């Protein structure tokens, strides 16, 4: 395994967590847990019987898991999470036996467990005389995921990771991406008037890691290929394309609001956003990703993606 491989696994798993909610979050958690402990069994609701407050368990340990995966845009999740944690525990003894351990798995999106939830679970442990009761945070899930074999991690993610190095660009893939982006952005007429800052200054200002900075630099050496394509377009189309990329960057800020690794996570979020949606083969994805990274490097230079050093940092 190369040095950058664990970094890529961490970032792409965190992206999956950021995006997951509802049933998708439950499937993601169960997938990781079934590899981490083969005794773990996911529970599906059944008709009027429901699930009795049990989303998954390790029967031998009397360990029950209850999950809560709100949408990324949900507001005021702490009070809702607290009520769900307590209400779901009360359901357990009515339909399940030998409840000794209780874990509340809350998709905190790496912000940590809300204090009232952690405190209430601590009280629950004492009141019900449980062996353990607490929150299972996303940092804990990330650690569990990283403890899996590389093959298992790959299966959880369900898609091939990018290569460790930005590869040479396939002209056909780049042309297809730029043409499709031009078509999508054709209705935009907003003009950006930023003066591009120093490339390295922008990397430092935006807090990008060494690994992502290296990818941007490597891609930037081939930016002239994008410039050649843009040279065939009129000024309005060029500006519309820049605004499209800027719009994607704003979407990435909504999808990944903050956190120490947010700049890196947004980078790969943007790469995946630029890759065409739909069923792609591994070879097609391998061609589109470097092209997407080249486009991102171009618009990183011009400040349509990420922040200008003269602006206020957003995260």
Q: Give the three-class secondary structure for 63.
A: strand
| Residue-level pLDDT at 4 | 74
pLDDT per residue, tens digit, the chain (315 aa), is: 566 789 899 999 999 999 999 999 999 999 999 999 999 999 999 999 999 999 999 999 999 999 999 988 787 688 888 898 999 999 999 999 999 999 999 999 999 999 999 999 999 999 999 999 999 999 999 999 999 999 999 999 987 787 766 555 555 656 666 666 555 544 433 434 444 457 888 889 899 999 999 999 888 888 888 888 888 878 887 887 888 888 899 999 999 988 889 999 999 999 988 887 766 676 777 777 888 888 898 888 887 788 777 665 544
SS3 category, 261: coil
Can you read off the two tokens belonging to residue 150? 């590389």
Residue 162 is encoded by which pair of tokens? 């990018």
Say what the pTM is.
0.78
Neighbours of 92 (CB within 10 A): 19
Tokens standing for residue 176: 């297809």
The two three-digit tokens of residue 180, written as one number: 């499709």
Q: Among 154, 208, 166, which Cα is nearest to 293's?
A: 166
C-beta of residue 174 within 8 angstroms of C-beta of residue 294: yes
How many whole angstroms separate alpha carbon 299 and alpha carbon 306? 9
Helix (H) or strand (E) segment spanning residue 110: none
Tell me how many degrees the CA angle 286-12-70 measures, rounded to the nearest 5.
Answer: 130
Structure tokens belonging to residue 223: 């930016």
What confidence score (pLDDT) does residue 309 get?
A: 74
pLDDT of residue 184: 52
CA distance 230 to 178: 9
pLDDT at 191: 37
């Amino acid at each position: 395994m190369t040095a950058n491989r664990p970094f890529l696994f961490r970032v792409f798993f965190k992206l999956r967590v950021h995006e997951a909610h509802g049933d998708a979050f439950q499937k993601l958690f169960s997938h990781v847990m079934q590899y981490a402990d083969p005794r773990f069994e996911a529970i599906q609701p059944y008709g009027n019987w429901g699930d009795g407050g049990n989303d998954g368990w390790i029967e031998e340990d009397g360990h029950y898991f209850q999950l809560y995966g709100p949408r990324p845009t949900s507001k005021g999740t702490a009070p809702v999470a607290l009520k769900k944690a307590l209400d779901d525990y009360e359901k357990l003894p009515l339909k399940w036996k030998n409840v000794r351990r209780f874990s509340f798995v809350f998709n905190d999106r790496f912000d940590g467990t809300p204090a009232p939830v952690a405190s209430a679970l601590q009280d629950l442990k004492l009141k019900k005389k449980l062996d353990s009761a607490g929150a299972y945070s996303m940092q804990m899930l990330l650690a569990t995921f990283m403890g899996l074999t590389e093959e298992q991690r790959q299966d959880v993610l369900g898609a091939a990771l990018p290569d460790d190095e930005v590869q040479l660009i396939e002209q056909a893939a780049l042309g297809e991406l730029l043409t499709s982006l031009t078509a999508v952005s054709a209705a935009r007429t907003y003009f950006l008037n930023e003066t591009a800052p120093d490339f390295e200054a922008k990397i430092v200002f935006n807090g990008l890691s060494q690994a992502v900075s290296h990818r941007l630099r490597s891609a930037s050496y081939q930016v002239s290929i994008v410039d050649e394509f843009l040279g065939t377009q009129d000024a309005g189309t060029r500006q519309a394309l820049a605004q499209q990329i800027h719009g994607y960057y704003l979407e990435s800020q909504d999808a990944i609001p903050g956190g120490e690794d947010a700049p890196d996570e947004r980078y790969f979020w943007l790469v995946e956003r630029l890759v065409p949606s739909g069923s792609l083969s591994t070879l097609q994805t391998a061609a589109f990703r470097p092209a997407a990274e080249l486009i991102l490097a171009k618009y990183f230079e011009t400040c349509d993606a990420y922040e200008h050093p003269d602006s206020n940092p957003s995260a």
